[in-house]
Amino acid sequence: GENVEQHPSTLSVQEGDSAVIKCTYSDSASNYFPWYKQELGKGPQLIIDIRSNVGEKKDQRIAVTLNKTAKHFSLHITETQPEDSAVYFCAASRLSGGYNKLIFGAGTRLAVHP
Amino acid sequence: EPEVTQTPSHQVTQMGQEVILRCVPISNHLYFYWYRQILGQKVEFLVSFYNNEISEKSEIFDDQFSVERPDGSNFTLKIRSTKLEDSAMYFCASSGVIKYETQYFGPGTRLLVL
């Protein structure tokens, strides 16, 4: 069935360093890949997303890359700050012109130390 | 900024009891979802809802579950006879028409079945 694997499960970095989180997906028909950030006591919040017709997307300190052939995609956070500390989830979806279910990875707990 | 809201934030119930989890999606959104996250596990898709009917449901969403949009603003998830394994965080999400792939999540309801 559809599955998304996410690594690492925990990541600890020093403030200012870069952080990279990687995901692989099983459904080759997946064509939409969002990343969510979840802070304590809150629901997941979308931080960046990418469609399968694009290989890379950037938004300030955050970037996502997609390798369709290998079926994996990654989140890159540069110049990390303590407020980046949270749980990050990748997800994959097969967009079908309307509703779409998200298949989530298990999450990565990122800790940024001052 | 508009957001998805959910009530209650926490619910404790006895096994076999019925619970109703409530969500108010973003006002002009048309696609609605429920997901759940058992402690320490992945966020899992339960059901999607559009045009007053279920558009897709997962294997988890058995006859004990139902969803309803009783009026123009609320979206509910009912569990008819709760089991211990229904204990989880339940997230509601909604998406609009123009950028339908972007799902906005509520803060969740933590359900504990004793």
Q: Which residues, numbered 67 to 96 in chain B, qualify as contacts with chain A under a Cβ-Cβ cut-off of 8 Å?
A: 91, 93, 95
CA distance B5 to chain A (A): 10
Instruction: Inspect the interface and report whether the beta carbons of A98 and B108 lie closer than 8 Å.
Output: no
Instruction: Inspect the interface and report whether the beta carbons of A102 and B108 lie closer than 8 Å.
Output: no
Instruction: Inspect the interface and report whether the beta carbons of A99 and B41 lie closer than 8 Å.
Output: no
Q: What is the mean pLDDT of residues B57-76?
A: 92
Tens of pLDDT, residues B7-21: 999 999 999 999 999
Cα gap B67→A100, rounded to integer Å:
17
Q: Give the pLDDT band (50/70/90) at residue B32.
A: very high
Cα gap B55→A76, rounded to integer Å:
34
Q: Which residues, numbered 17 to 56 in chain B, qualify as contacts with chain A under a Cβ-Cβ cut-off of 8 Å?
A: 31, 33, 35, 41-45, 48-50, 55-56
Instruction: Inspect the interface and report whether the beta carbons of A104 and B56 lie closer than 8 Å.
Output: no
Compute and round to an integer the Cα radius of gyration of chain A: 14
Q: Which amino acid is at A5?
A: E
CA distance B8 to chain A (A): 13
Tens of pLDDT, residues A14-73: 999 999 999 999 999 999 999 999 998 888 999 999 998 889 999 999 999 999 999 999
Name which of B42, B93, B106 is nearest A105 (Cβ-Cβ). B42
Instruction: Inspect the interface and report whether the beta carbons of B107 and A41 lie closer than 8 Å.
Output: yes
Q: What is the DSSP letter of B10?
A: E
CA distance B14 to chain A (A): 24
CA distance A80 to chain B (A): 24
pLDDT at B71: 87
Name which of A34, A44, A99 is nearest B56 (Cβ-Cβ). A99
Tens of pLDDT, residues A83-114: 999 999 999 999 876 778 999 999 999 999 99
With beta carbons less than 8 A apart as the criterion, state whether B43 and A44 touch: yes
Instruction: Inspect the interface and report whether the beta carbons of B105 and A106 lie closer than 8 Å.
Output: no
Residues 6+ apart with CB under 8 A from A92: A2, A4, A23, A25, A27, A30, A32, A33, A102, A103
